[in-house]
Chains A and B, each alone.
Chain A
Amino acid sequence: MLDAFSRAVINADSKTACIGGEELSSLRTFISEGNKRLDAVNAVASNASCIVSDSVAGMICENQGLIQAGGNCYPNRRMAACLRDGEIILRYVTYALLAGDASVLEDRCLNGLKETYIALGVPLGSAARAVSIMKACSVAHINQTNEMYSGTPKYRKMETQQGDCSSLASECASYFDRVIAALS
């Protein structure tokens, strides 16, 4: 497993070069933006069950067949498995966001996931849809733009310092995109 720092080291070692100059400045940004990153991880981790259940519910809303007899979220036992998997994927995304590198997500979660789902008969399209809702949800929590319904006030505002989190939000989105890519 790597983090942003060891990733830079692996890259430099392949060229037998020291790390200085440009690579250092991107690592310095990582450090100076460190508190933002921790707040972002906290925003996602603290709202994890909400993000997961909303995403699975959203996936089912769009495809009611899933909870009818013969659907993949019927009966409760399979619905529970679905919620559990959503939580596992979200958990590995928070690890990747904390480390600033996707290797933990790739090695421990995505490697072989598609094959497992195919073997178990899990519909990949629906799984990818739930992940993409989780992506929207997590990005909204990081940027604090989450709302109940359009027009209603925001809810569950984390009392963190305000600032520009767009780069963290897009980094987090890129980890979800990796999950979606791995499933399709």
Chain B
Amino acid sequence: MKSVVTTVVSAADAAGRFPSTSDLESVQGSLQRAAARLEAAEKLAAGIDAVAKEGYDACIKKYPYLNDAGEANSTDVFKEKCLRDIKHYLRLINYCLIVGGTGPLDEWGIAGQREVYRALSLPTAPYVEAMRFTRDRACAPRDMSAQALVEFRALLDYVINSLS
């Protein structure tokens, strides 16, 4: 899975050399920024159910037609699955905050995303709304520190871009 360390090790291995000073400096750089990422991951993990629910409510509020018979949010089973999907994205964001790269989202969220939603004829706009709401709702220092929020929002934007 792609991260700073694995990139550095792959490059060193391709050249057949031991980890050099510059390799160690790159790793050190990513470790320095890691504290904020881990803080965001921790806060997100602690409140993931509430965050997902708020995002879900916001997207249904913006797109109430989803509740109509035959639409994506019309039955209890569908409602549960919509909420689950939003929580799924948030969990992958939690992983990306831990790894320090977009590897988990790329491999487990975004790859094949378009094809799946097309096959199930699901609209992507409601997901975008849920992520956008979560991004604008999060606030420092109430939810997490400013630097942690920057990291969190960057990943929410990454998901939004992948869906739009």
Structural contact, A24 and B38, CB atoms closer than 8 A: yes
Structural contact, A20 and B18, CB atoms closer than 8 A: no
Structural contact, B24 and A18, CB atoms closer than 8 A: no
Partner of B13, one of A8, A9, A38, A95: A95
Structural contact, A38 and B28, CB atoms closer than 8 A: yes
Residues of chain A at interface, number, CB under 8 A: 35
Residues 15-67 of B at the A interface (beta carbon under 8 Å): 16-21, 23-24, 27-28, 31, 34-35, 38, 41-42, 44-46, 48
The minimal Cβ–Cβ distance linking B123 to chain A, given in whole angstroms, is: 25
How far does the alpha carbon of A11 sit from the alpha carbon of B45 in the complex, in Å?
Answer: 15
Residues from chain B with Cβ under 8 Å of A125 in the complex = none
Given known A1-B10, A48-B18, A98-B19, contact A19–B41 (CB-CB < 8 A):
yes
- Interface residue tally on B, bucketed by range: 35 or more
B residues with CB within 8 A of A: 1, 3, 5-6, 8-10, 12-13, 16-21, 23-24, 27-28, 31, 34-35, 38, 41-42, 44-46, 48, 91, 94-95, 98-100, 103-104, 108
A residues with CB within 8 A of B: 1-3, 5-6, 8-10, 12-13, 16-21, 24, 27-28, 31, 34-35, 38, 41-42, 45, 48, 91, 94-95, 98-100, 104, 108
Q: List 12 A–B pairs whose Cβ atoms lie within 8 Å, in order of A's numbering.
A: A6-B1, A18-B44, A18-B91, A19-B41, A20-B42, A24-B41, A31-B31, A31-B34, A38-B27, A98-B9, A98-B19, A108-B13
